[in-house]
Amino acid sequence: MHIALHIGANCTDGDMLVRSLTKNARTFAPMGTAIPGLAKYRKLLRETIQNLQGSTPLPETRDRLVSQITDLPTPQRLVMSNSAFICLPARIYEAGEFYGLTNMKMRAIDQLFPNDEISLYLALRNPATFIPEAFGMIRNRSFAGFMNGVDPRVPQWSELVTRIRGALPRAHLTVWCNEDTPLIWGEILRRMTGAPDGTAMGGEYDVLSTIMTEEGMKRFHAYLGTHPPKGEAQLRRVIAAFLDKYAIPEAIEDEINLPDWDEAMVEQLTVLYEADVDRISDMDGVTFITP
C-alpha cells in the first residue's frame, strides 16, 4: 500500500487540504484510493504513536490501524492530512529546537508502516508571517518564551527537511511554499491522490476562492469552460492573470505585530527564506512544487 501523508507545517492551510481531498473520496474509492475524513485517523494516529513511546509496534498494529481508518477492503493508497502532525503550535520551538519532535514522529511512521511505500508532503511558510501567526495561537506565554532562544534569522526549513530525510530516508518528500498554494493547489491534490496530470479534482480551486472576488471566480470558471488549459503551467498562468485583476487585497496581505519586528526585519527574514527555499529545491529525494 502507498501511504500519502501531509505532515504540516502549522499555519499553512489549516484543514483546507483535508477538506479538498475528501471531496474526491467517492471518485477515487473504486480505484483503491482511500481518502478518509480527519476524524478517522488524527486522534488514532496520535494516540498510537504516543502509546508506542519509541518502542517497536506489534506486527498486527499496522493492519489494525488501516482497518480502523478506512472501510476499503484492500486499499492501494491511503491519503491523510494533518498540518499539526509533528506538533501543535505551542511546541514548534520547544526546548530551543525547531520542530524537535520530528525525528520521533518520522520513526513512528516508519515502524507503523514498515512494508508500505511512503510519501510525505510538507508546506513551508515565510518565517516573517509563520512565526507571528504561530505565536498568535499561543496563550499565556511571552514571545521570548515561545521562541525558546531560537534565532528566526537562522535558516530552519532546510534543516527540518534534512532531518525528515534522515529519519525516514525511504520516504519521498514533496515540498511547496504556502505562498504559492493558490496557483498549485490542484497539483498538490493530484500528487497526493496519485492522479495523472490534468485530472479534474473536487476542491481544486478552494484556496483560490478565498482570495479572489466572487465576480472574479465566476469569470475564471467561465473562461476555463471556453479555454480549457493545456497542462499545469498554462493553468497557473491563467490563475495568475485573474488574481492580478480580481484578488481581494486584505486576503493576500499579512499583518505582522511582534515586538521589535520592523520592516527591515521582515525583509531580512524574507530574503533568508527565499535562499532557504532554493537550498531545499536542490536537495536529493525532494520534489519541490513551484508555480
Q: Which domain holds residue 118?
A: 2-212+247-289
Q: Which three cell numbers stand for residue 24?
A: 474526491
User: Mind listing the pLDDT tens digit for each residue in 44-79?
Assistant: 999 999 999 889 999 899 999 999 999 999 999 999
- Residue 259: predicted pLDDT: 76
Q: In which region does residue 116 sit, left (phi positive, over 0), alpha (psi from -120 to 50) or beta (all else)?
A: beta
Going by pLDDT thresholds of 50, 70 and 90, the confidence category of residue 22 is very high
Q: 37 and 78 in contact (C-beta within 8 Å)?
A: no
- Asked if the model's pLDDT at residue 260 lies above 90, the reply is no
Segment among 168-182, 195-209, 246-260 with least mean pLDDT: 246-260
| Domain-embedded: residue 234 | no
Average pLDDT, the chain: 95
The tally of domains found in the chain comes to 1
- Asked if the model's pLDDT at residue 254 lies above 80, the reply is yes
- Residue 13: predicted pLDDT: 87
- Asked if the model's pLDDT at residue 94 lies above 80, the reply is yes
| Domain-embedded: residue 231 | no
| Domain-embedded: residue 220 | no
Kindly state the average pLDDT of the residues 109-136.
97
| Domain-embedded: residue 277 | yes
Kindly state the average pLDDT of the residues 132-144.
94
Burial environment of residue 157 by CB neighbours within 10 A (0 to 12, 13 to 18, 19 or more): buried
Q: Who's near 260: CB < 8 A, 6+ residues apart? A: none
- What CATH number has the domain bearing residue 115? 3.40.50
This prediction has a pTM of: 0.96
- Residue 253: predicted pLDDT: 84
- Residue 54: predicted pLDDT: 84
